[in-house]
Amino acid sequence: MSRLRMAVIGVGHLGRHHARILAAQSDVELVGVVDSNSDHALAIAQQNCTQAFDSIGPLFGKVDAVSVVTPTSFHHPVAGEFLRRGVPVMVEKPICKTVEEAEELIAEARAANVPLQVGHIERFNPAFEELARRPIRPSFIEAERHGPFTGRSTDIGAVLDLMIHDLDLILSLVDSAVRDVRAFGTAVFGGHEDMVNARIEFESGCVAHVTASRISPKPKRRLRVWAPEGYAGIDFVSRKLTLVQVSEEVRRHGLNPNSMSNAERATLKDDLFGKHLEVQHVEADRSGDQLTAELRHFIDCVRHNRTPRVTGEDGRDALALAHRVLDAVSAHEWEGTPDGSVGPHCMPKPAGLLFDHPAIDRDEAEAA
């Protein structure tokens, strides 16, 4: 079988890894890398023994598929140029900045009948893959995604940068339309929101609490699901899945502490997890990395013209929900009234003290 001719467009922080991984695939020929910063393109091309370009034009007619890893604002124009020419596209998340742009890419991929995959990489986290294989119908979901400020992806805020991962995962787990979204957030460094909490209510009654912050000292990426089938907790960083379900005995007879002997009640705390609630720690396969799995999946979809696990439609749906969260963040009234502070750029001013200010040597402070 001939090698798939591929290129990576945008080889910054993430794109350089796309290039490295694609260059290492025996069934792929990395035809080139493109970056508007030509020094950047050249350095990454040299590392991967391929050609450097500072625009996409020279690649037309020379590639069978591309990976688009530019800043989000350029996803739509760059991916569109390739889809219109019948070239399959893997585009990083979020698919685009607006739902209208996403719709256009979806229409172009459909017209050309080629795969369009969106880089919601957590779908390839082995712990999430393990969960997705199980029949779970969530009633309540809690998702947390915290990271330190990197200074990257400043063309978007925490919702389109981070929260969108969890919005996509939640939509893939909950088979119901969104009924209502409440949210609030703050823009600490200006520009866009850096910290957001959202409450999403589905028609099915399922509720999701989602928090994203890109100004946290420590990274944390967790998803917890409560369902009639049991509880599932994922730590995306360690790729661990914990499952808990009610034991057969308790399903049949219930658990009534009032009808227990004193001796039974005394051991209840120790017996709870294990005897009454069965616990399984699922060791997901951690041999490979997620980005390789995601790119391998895309290559297979292109070769066999299959529908990707994360389609353009999935990317659009996550984006549409993200925009509902952003609208709710913009409308949040911090003092409960439209006359007060409203939206992410308008936190209430500091007032009152939780403890006395530390004493400052004013002469020293002024000298500094």
Contact footprint for ligand NAD (CB under 6 A): 9-15, 34-37, 40, 69-72, 74, 78, 92-93, 119, 121, 152-153, 161
Nearest to ligand NAD of 79, 136 (CB atom): 79
What is the rounded CA–CA span in Å between residue 168 and residue 164? Answer: 6
Nearest to ligand NAD of 52, 195 (CB atom): 52
At its nearest, how many Å lie between ligand NAD and the CB of residue 108? 18
Q: What residues pair up with 362 in beta bridges, in sequence order?
A: none
Cβ 210 vs Cβ 248: under 8 Å: no
Nearest to ligand NAD of 7, 227 (CB atom): 7
Q: What residues pair up with 316 in beta bridges, in sequence order?
A: none
At its nearest, how many Å lie between ligand NAD and the CB of residue 75? 6
In terms of phi and psi (left: phi > 0; alpha: psi -120 to 50; beta: otherwise), the region of 10 is left
Cβ 116 vs Cβ 305: under 8 Å: no
Chain-centroid distance of CA 322 in Å reads 11
CA distances from 366 to 359, 362, 363 (A): 14, 6, 5
Nearest to ligand NAD of 69, 234 (CB atom): 69
For CA atoms 283, 287, 291, 296, give the dihedral sign: negative
At its nearest, how many Å lie between ligand NAD and the CB of residue 93? 5
Q: How crowded is residue 60: how many other Cβ atoms within 10 Å of its Cβ?
A: 11
Which residue of this chain has its Cβ atom nearest to ligand NAD in the complex?
12
At its nearest, how many Å lie between ligand NAD and the CB of residue 212? 13
At its nearest, how many Å lie between ligand NAD and the CB of residue 39? 10
At its nearest, how many Å lie between ligand NAD and the CB of residue 298? 13
Nearest to ligand NAD of 196, 207 (CB atom): 196
Q: How crowded is residue 156: how many other Cβ atoms within 10 Å of its Cβ?
A: 20
What is the DSSP track for 245-302?
Answer: EE-HHHHHH---GGGS-HHHHHHHHHHHBTTTEEEEEEE---SS-HHHHHHHHHHHHH
At its nearest, how many Å lie between ligand NAD and the CB of residue 365? 37
At its nearest, how many Å lie between ligand NAD and the CB of residue 20? 13
Nearest to ligand NAD of 11, 206 (CB atom): 11
Chain-centroid distance of CA 301 in Å reads 21
List the Cα angle 104/204/248 in 5-degree steps.
125
Q: What are phi and psi of 309, to 5 degrees?
A: -60, -40
Nearest to ligand NAD of 84, 152 (CB atom): 152
At its nearest, how many Å lie between ligand NAD and the CB of residue 164? 9
List the Cα angle 236/239/241 in 5-degree steps.
95
Q: Counting beta carbons within 10 angstroms of the beta carbon of residue 298, is it exposed (0 to 12), middle (13 to 18) or buried (19 or more)?
A: buried
Nearest to ligand NAD of 158, 207 (CB atom): 158
What is the rounded CA–CA span in Å between residue 277 and residue 338? Answer: 47
At its nearest, how many Å lie between ligand NAD and the CB of residue 54? 8
Nearest to ligand NAD of 243, 321 (CB atom): 321
Nearest to ligand NAD of 33, 114 (CB atom): 33
